[in-house]
Amino acid sequence: MDKLEYEMNRVAEKAAKKASKKDAIKAIQMLKRADYDFDMVLREILQSYGDDLPRAEIKKITKKD
């Protein structure tokens, strides 16, 4: 893998993570509007986004939003 290809992969990974985080935030907001409690929201988001985002980050954005 040459340097350009490596850099392009890094940018793509960063963009995918950012998109996943935005999607998770939208899902959190939707679940909260549906009156899910914190534990239910956390469980659903971990199930849906746990492979893409670290657990600590999911807990942080779940509490924030």
* Single pTM value for the model: 0.76
Nearest to residue 61, comparing CAs of 40, 45, 44, 37? 45
Q: Is residue 62 part of a domain?
A: yes
Q: Is residue 34 part of a domain?
A: yes
Q: Is residue 8 part of a domain?
A: no
Range of the domain at 62: 21-65
Confidence (pLDDT) at 25: 94
Q: Is residue 56 part of a domain?
A: yes
The per-residue DSSP string of 20-49 comes to: HHHHHHHHHHHHHHTT--HHHHHHHHHHHH
Give Rg (Cα) of the chain: 14
Express each pLDDT in 4-42 by its tens digit: 888 888 888 888 888 888 999 999 999 999 999 999 999
Q: Show Cβ contacts of residue 14 under 8 Å, excluding neighbours closer than 6 positions.
A: none
Number of domains within the chain:
1
- Mean predicted confidence (pLDDT) in 38-65: 90
